[in-house]
Amino acid sequence: MNSTVNYIKEWQQALQLEILHLKKFGSTKYLVSNGHLLNSDGSFSYYFETGASIKIPVGSVVRLEWGGIKQDGRILSSEGKSIIIVFERSLGDMIGEAFLYHDPWELLEQLIIRLDEIKRSKKKRLRIKRLMDPSMLPKHPQIEKQSSVKELYARSKFNPVTFVWGPPGTGKTYTLARTVANHYLQEKKVLVLSHSNQAVDVMMAEISSFIKKKERFKEGDVLRYGSQIGETLSSHEDIVTGQLLGKHEPLLVQEKEQLSEEKRLLKYDLAGSFSRRDTDQLLELEKKLAKVLEKIRQKEVQFVKEAKIIGTTLAKAANDETIYQKEYDLVILDEASMAYVPQVAFAAALSKHIIVCGDFKQLPPIAAARDSLVKLWLKEDIFHRAGVAQSVEEGELHPHLFLLKEQRRMHPDISAFTNRVVYNNFVGDHESVATSREEIMQAEPFANKAAVLVDTSSSGEYCMTERTSHSRMNLWQLLLSFQLIHEAYVGGARSIGYVAPYRAQADMMGKLLDDLYAEERQTADIIAATVHRFQGSERDMMIFDTVDSYPQNRAGMLLTGRESERLINVAITRTKGKFVHVCDTSFVNKHVYRSKTLRQLVDHQTQNDQLVTKKDIGTWVNHQHPKLRWLHARKLGDFLEDIQTAKREVIMAVPDMTSLPLEWQQHLLKRNPKVNLTIISAKRNPEIISDQFVCLPVSFAFFIIDKRIVWLGLPVESNDRVQPPYVAARLESEMMADELLFQFKKNE
């Protein structure tokens, strides 16, 4: 067994490797312009304009690059569309344009320092040893049929480490919040930590609500500490540091706001003048504001000292001595499966008892460096590294693992797959969930079905790799998915998620929604993203577009690799009442092994009568969007009208021009003689005359008319892997026309 000191050394090495990688490849990059020297009194302060508001914390280390020169500096001011950076040496009087890099590695450096401090403390090393090797016998009283809250309270009271496995919808926040409140009622000091600000907000709101219901709430005892507070706490302002400050120190807050406004106006004037007087006045304001902020900081420190329950993020806890220099009776770490193992160890070292809560069947932590130590400690969660997950794989629950085993989120027709395949039948449905999700299940599309597989087999070969990122995209499945969103919205749905494994596809859906659905999104929560964006959230309806299809010759690693089960699990378990899976089943059946989660999902949906095939499109497309229409591909009336009314250009792309029937030459000749015809194909047909021929391979046929109208599915004869019914899609979107042309632009 590894010693705790060796663990810490390996963690520090892994963090250092990740820092080196981020320094080399991982910075966030901003364009800055119109740089002017403001002050050269010992150090050199420069003012820059930015294209958009840049939110970099004051005091952060940044790097400026221009003309082959690189220089580190520190943020002095960052508000609105301007920024002030201080450097140790002169960069000249003016800088026209430069790139500003802000690195996230400072947080990791702080964690390395915290680990050094832990290394010197025998007490803290022992706490980490118990975390990494939870082989001690459980000490809590074993009582049958007690509530989840009572059992977790008992476990966390008597045992130094309690792992909580909280699958989606199993009441994790409810259980943790009441456990915290019960410790508080016993006058214990509790620190609530999580990976994200949103998770901390949700937990603290639940804790506050419960204590208020018990009529035991005392202002100042419950504190949400930090600056990134979301709307979740809008009705719990009495636990937020900023609001408490406004109540107890109104003059100080007023002074801060007044100075900030003066500074904003002065920076606006400075952008046009760069006078010495304005510059000196601005720097003087910065000094005054810094003093006020320090006073505010001291008041916040006092709030933290007096609070009994403190909620903040893991990152702030490791960076703020107000948090990490204290001792707690209990630490609650939520979203632990997304945290680095060294972060969890840091949290464990702060307290006599820790509850480590997460779901090791969801997405693991994210790290960028490729190294065995990084893979070991930063790319896998604490549940696996402490041996807790392995016991589950062997069919048992670890003695220190507490499972929340009843899910209340998903309709049983959706959860049936994840309960059995992902959670190995450890998780079941609460009796209420079928009736509570009935209204969503009954709605369109696919009324009275909670889980549906929309099969795109025999629709064509639409899967391609995005030109610059090489991420996969599938235009046919994209448009089908948009149609599903439209059907759901018309049917009354206002909570819809679209998830794809590939960023290119998710980004394209985002652009399509911006283009065609901007107004509807004002009244609905419709989000398109990759899986990571959705973890921790839920939607009434989820559309899971797996993208992979022909002409690709293998399924992507995102759907078949080591983490594919977790990715697919998150995609499914965000759903409350309707889960629609858009997938080419013929491709999956040929290219994905039966043991893989994606293949098991397709088999499960097929066997459970959830399959909707291409021939059913006429039954579920009930509401044609004004700019996206689905038509029979043999009925060319609308298409020919578009050709005849074209004003400037017709672009036709076909995989092989030699296979094109000559009747299409007649169709193309119906255009106005002044309208140019461009043909994109791998093979030329000399009998079809065009103004321009671009020799490029394409896997599916399409038309673009006047860079505004896109036709997919025509000509039918030019598409491979197409069987009746023959369907064409007509999309009116300049954005999509541009995107499609960009993908087939010939490299110069």
- What mean pLDDT do residues 61-65 have? 87
Q: Check whether 407 has a pLDDT greater than 60.
A: yes
Lowest mean pLDDT: which of 428-437, 487-496, 688-697?
A: 688-697
Q: Which residue would you say has higher pLDDT here, 237 or 182? A: 182
Please, what's the b/e burial string for 365-395 (b: 16 or more CB within 10 A of its CB; e: otherwise)? Answer: bebebebebbeebbbbbbbebbebbeebeee
- What confidence tier does 259 reach under pLDDT thresholds 50, 70, 90? confident
pLDDT of residue 235: 85
User: First-to-last CA distance in the chain?
Assistant: 59
Please, what's the b/e burial string for 496-518 (b: 16 or more CB within 10 A of its CB; e: otherwise)? Answer: bbbbbbbbbbbbbbeebbeebbe
Task: Give pTM, 2 decimals.
Answer: 0.87
pLDDT tens figures, 320-347:
999 999 999 999 999 999 999 999 999 9
- What mean pLDDT do residues 357-366 have? 95
pLDDT tens figures, 517-549:
999 999 999 999 999 888 888 999 999 999 999
Q: Are 705 and 739 a contacting pair, CB within 8 Å?
A: no
DSSP state of 138: P
- What confidence tier does 276 reach under pLDDT thresholds 50, 70, 90? low
Secondary structure percentages of the chain, helix, strand, coil, to 5:
45, 20, 35
- What mean pLDDT do residues 159-183 have? 97
Quick one: three-class SS letters along 265-294?
A: HHHHHHHHHCCHHHHHHHHHHHHHHHHHHH
- What mean pLDDT do residues 339-359 have? 97
Lowest mean pLDDT: which of 254-268, 276-290, 671-685?
A: 276-290
Q: Are 12 and 360 a contacting pair, CB within 8 Å?
A: no
- What confidence tier does 275 reach under pLDDT thresholds 50, 70, 90? low
Q: Check whether 250 has a pLDDT greater than 90.
A: no
Q: How many helices (H) and strands (E) does the chain have?
A: 29, 30
- Comparing CA positions, the residue from 353, 407, 348 lying closest to residue 382 is 348
pLDDT tens figures, 591-634:
999 999 999 999 999 999 999 999 999 999 999 999 999 999 99
The torsion defined by the Cα of 641, 642, 645 and 647, in degrees rounded to 10, comes to -170
- What mean pLDDT do residues 76-92 have? 81
| Type of residue at 130 | R
Residue 488 token pair = 């759901």
- What confidence tier does 105 reach under pLDDT thresholds 50, 70, 90? confident
pLDDT of residue 279: 65
- What confidence tier does 278 reach under pLDDT thresholds 50, 70, 90? low
pLDDT of residue 168: 96
- What confidence tier does 143 reach under pLDDT thresholds 50, 70, 90? confident
pLDDT of residue 219: 92
- 443-446 contacts, C-beta under 8 A, 24 or more apart: 443/488, 443/491, 443/492, 443/493, 443/577, 443/578, 444/487, 444/488, 444/490, 444/491, 444/620, 444/622, 445/484, 445/487, 445/488, 445/491, 445/580, 445/620, 445/622, 446/578, 446/580, 446/612, 446/620
Q: Check whether 364 has a pLDDT greater than 90.
A: yes
- What mean pLDDT do residues 433-454 have? 97
pLDDT of residue 277: 66
Residue 290 token pair = 């810094």
pLDDT of residue 665: 85
Q: Are 29 and 101 a contacting pair, CB within 8 Å?
A: yes
* CB atoms inside a 10 Å sphere around CB 72: 12
pLDDT of residue 300: 87
Residue 201 token pair = 């907000």
- The rounded distance, in Å, linking the Cα atoms of 219 and 308 is 10
Residue 729 token pair = 């899609």
Q: Check whether 274 has a pLDDT greater than 70.
A: no
Lowest mean pLDDT: which of 1-5, 298-302, 310-314?
A: 1-5
- What confidence tier does 672 reach under pLDDT thresholds 50, 70, 90? very high
Q: Which residue would you say has higher pLDDT here, 119 or 39? A: 119
Q: Check whether 84 has a pLDDT greater than 60.
A: yes
Q: Which residue would you say has higher pLDDT here, 488 or 82? A: 488
pLDDT of residue 263: 72
The average confidence (pLDDT) of the chain is 91
Q: Which residues pair with 473 in a beta bridge?
A: 464
Q: Check whether 392 has a pLDDT greater than 90.
A: yes
Q: Check whether 453 has a pLDDT greater than 80.
A: yes
Q: What are phi and psi of 5, to 5 degrees?
A: -65, -40
- Comparing CA positions, the residue from 680, 672, 673, 679 lying closest to residue 646 is 672
Q: Check whether 49 has a pLDDT greater than 90.
A: no
CA-to-CA separations, 304 to 171, 321, 427, 457, 632, in angstroms, rounded: 28, 11, 38, 59, 67
Q: Check whether 1 has a pLDDT greater than 60.
A: no
- Comparing CA positions, the residue from 643, 647, 649 lying closest to residue 714 is 643
| Type of residue at 38 | L
pLDDT tens figures, 502-525:
999 999 999 999 999 999 999 999
Q: Check whether 260 has a pLDDT greater than 80.
A: no
Q: Check whether 563 has a pLDDT greater than 70.
A: yes
* CB contact set of 112 (below 8 Å; sequence gap of 6+): 12, 15, 16
Lowest mean pLDDT: which of 492-501, 521-530, 653-662?
A: 653-662
